[in-house]
Amino acid sequence: MHPRRVLVVEDEAFTSGLVCAALRGGGFEVRPASSAAAARREVADFDPDAAVIDLNLGAGPNGVDLAHILSHQNPGVALLLLTKVPDLRAAGYTEADLPATCGFIRKEAVTDADLLVQAVESALADQVQRMKGQLDQASPLTALTQTQFAVLRLVAQGYTTPRIAELRGTTTSAVEKVLGSIYDALHIGKDDGISRRAEAMRIFVEYVGLPPRD
């Protein structure tokens, strides 16, 4: 019986090496690819049983795009997204943006070979663990709605209120109203002697990191 095959799609050579080594140690046959285009070529030749895909793949299609392509064209391939953000919303996505059978795991798992192998095994068994990397319940950001989180992410990216309104197809007053609700949800008072906007951004960066600018 041939070992099960896993395609690892990761553009960072160091991380790719760690993931490949962990999976080979778990008994899988592994093939690396550094981009979505390379991954699509490898699929035809390698015929993988599963694919571990980095969420951010540099220029060109990202991991979510590739996951949808593989889900449509190669539905027999189990899918697992690998990302460094602790919540998909921090990368501008929600669970609904992923293919229904796509799992999600933090990049920090590459240092725990057993956890990574278990995640791939679960994906192969159609027991995907969705949103495994969500924020810890102790994080104040768990109190935010999807709209509030999305607006705060844009703030953390450095956009002005008018630009956020433009990006979201709404008005500046509507964005200001959302910002006010964010400050209330994060318990940032008006009389704390600090900029409420800056404090909200500080909290965001503390818990999920600085988001890349779209």
- pLDDT tens readout for residues 176-209: 999 999 999 999 988 778 899 999 999 988 887 7
| pLDDT (0 to 100) of residue 167 | 93
Report the distance separating Cα 60 and Cα 136, nearest Å: 32
Residue with tokens 């299609």: 61
Instruction: Looking at the structure, tell me whether residues 82 and 24 fall in a common domain.
Output: yes
- Can you read off the two tokens belonging to residue 102? 């796509």
| pLDDT (0 to 100) of residue 29 | 94
Q: Is the predicted pLDDT of residue 133 greater than 60, yes or no?
A: no
Flag the least confident range among 63-67, 136-140, 166-170. 136-140
Determine the longest span between alpha carbons in the chain, in angstroms. 68
Q: What is the DSSP string of 181-199?
A: HHHHHTT--TTSSS-HHHH
The model's pLDDT over 48-86, given as tens digits with 9 standing for 90+, comes to 999 999 988 877 788 889 989 998 888 888 898 887 776
Instruction: Looking at the structure, tell me whether residues 19 and 106 fall in a common domain.
Output: yes
Instruction: Looking at the structure, tell me whether residues 144 and 103 fall in a common domain.
Output: no
- Can you read off the two tokens belonging to residue 195? 């900029």
C-alpha closest to that of 92 among 128, 56, 138 = 56
Could you tell me if residue 129 is inside a domain? Answer: no
What total number of domains does the chain contain? 2
Residue 214 Cα distances to 46, 50, 158, 170, 211, angstroms: 33, 29, 11, 18, 9
Q: Which domain holds residue 173?
A: 140-208
Instruction: Looking at the structure, tell me whether residues 112 and 176 fall in a common domain.
Output: no
Share above pLDDT 70 across residues of the chain, in percent, rounded to a whole number = 91
Instruction: Looking at the structure, tell me whether residues 169 and 81 fall in a common domain.
Output: no
